[in-house]
Amino acid sequence: MKYCDNILETIGNTPMVKLHRVTATLPCTVLAKVEFFNPGNSIKDRMAVKMVDVAEEKGLLKPGGTLIEGTSGNTGMGLALAAIIRGYKCIFTTTDKQSKEKVDILKAVGAEVIVCPTNVEPEDPRSYYSVSKRLATEVPNSFYVNQYDNLANRDAHYEQTGPEIWEQTEGKITHLVVATGTGGTVTGTGKYLKEKNPNIKVWAIDSYGSLLKKYFETGQLDMSEVYPYITEGIGEDFVPENYDMKVIDKFEKVTDKDAAVMARRITKEEGIFVGYSAGSAIAGLLQLKESLKPTDVVVVIFHDHGSRYVGKIYNDQWMMERGFLDVKTVKDVVNGRRNQPLVTISADEKVSEAIARMKKYDIEHIPVEQGGELIGAISENGLFNRLIDDANLKDALVQQVMQPLFPLVSQDTPIEKLSVYINRENGAVLTKDDSGNHHIVTKYDIIQALGR
């Protein structure tokens, strides 16, 4: 029989997948090291278990002890899996910018999670760094893992990730691209690969709001570089000890928006459900395409799984609220018609007059008004069915045959969402602009807008 003794034995040996569509503008071969095949769905499983192993070997972690760590989510997951198998407890601190899914997953695997504010200095007693350090001094029989300065982090990638990539590419790799945070992956993997071939380039992808790129280029800790950003799992407001900047050849910054949009593209166009940092990595690589040639073989680390971010980058509303999603809205449709006035008909006019108005303006739907208020609607399709049954109905009053008023939607409603309102029974919606004027949007308007 062939099986693993426990889940930790499934860590590593993750697949390499060639990318096609999102990298179509690049001249070279691009391979993704898909790390969410690890049991905790991220590359952090590798270093989490390594840090526990080393702590046990050094006698820093005693039986029944508690692992304490500040984490953006993925390292915590790896530590929690190790804790389950080895018999430890976990207390994790994280920031309020991390996705709810990450916090819920950590709780699901038995960890206690303390959420701390993001927008404070690392030394602030409220920061997730400071809270985790304090807990390590207060909780009996505990071990502060400290993934940022614990060199077992980078050792894990030197021993595992680097050799796997070298073997999978048969030594043909020319570039390693890593969206980097603690520095363990980029330093450990890069160090191993450069020992095999010093000509391999190691590119680190940073986020705007992080000071790592400026520190790499100048050696200065410039806190003016630091400001709140949304991208999760990469960038720092200090330099962890896991970094060996001599291993890295270039840093490139990527915006929150570009990273989020690219992550969604990777998922839709490559069929690989990736997390935020994968978007950063590919977006950064595309920004550096002028440095690449046809013979290059680029390996990009895809750190974690998209399920961690379904409430954020994979949520249209979340993306739109931050201006990350370029969607056409009801307002765009109305503006595209140059704000033509709404054609209405009075409730006490005849059906024949409604038919004539439809013909005159080449429209199928007319709101019905009475006393300056919209009270109902009349449509070509609805009239057709009624007139077939009773041709004399054309002499009836509109109020006798009108349908309910079309649904009223806000101007910022994405047109893709209008299918909830526009169907066989109802062919249009109404919206009101900032001046209080009503406008109608029909199936035809939507088809026209989507076709542009």
Return d(Cα 413, Cα 330) in angstroms, integer: 6
Report which residue type is found at 199: N
Query: Is the separation of the CB atoms in 358 and 364 below 8 Å?
Result: yes
**Could you give the strand order of the β-sheet that contains 365-370, starting from the edge strand earlier in sequence?**
345-346, 365-370, 373-379
Q: 122: which residues sit within 8 A by CB, 6+ positions away? A: 129, 130, 237, 238
Q: 299: which residues sit within 8 A by CB, 6+ positions away? A: 16, 31, 32, 33, 165, 169, 173, 175, 176, 177
Q: Write out the catalytic residue numbers.
A: 44
Query: Is the separation of the CB atoms in 69 and 44 below 8 Å?
Result: no
Return d(Cα 146, Cα 129) in angstroms, integer: 9
**CA 430 to mean position of chain CA atoms:** 32
Query: Is the separation of the CB atoms in 152 and 51 below 8 Å?
Result: yes
Return d(Cα 79, Cα 42) in angstroms, integer: 12
Return d(Cα 149, Cα 294) in angstroms, integer: 38
Q: 113: which residues sit within 8 A by CB, 6+ positions away? A: 76, 92, 93, 94, 103, 106, 107
Return d(Cα 318, Cα 326) in angstroms, integer: 12
Query: Is the separation of the CB atoms in 93 and 71 below 8 Å?
Result: yes
- Of the chain, the end-to-end C-alpha distance in Å amounts to 59
Return d(Cα 411, Cα 262) in angstroms, integer: 27
Cα 241 to Cα 131, 147, 154: the distances in Å are: 19, 9, 10
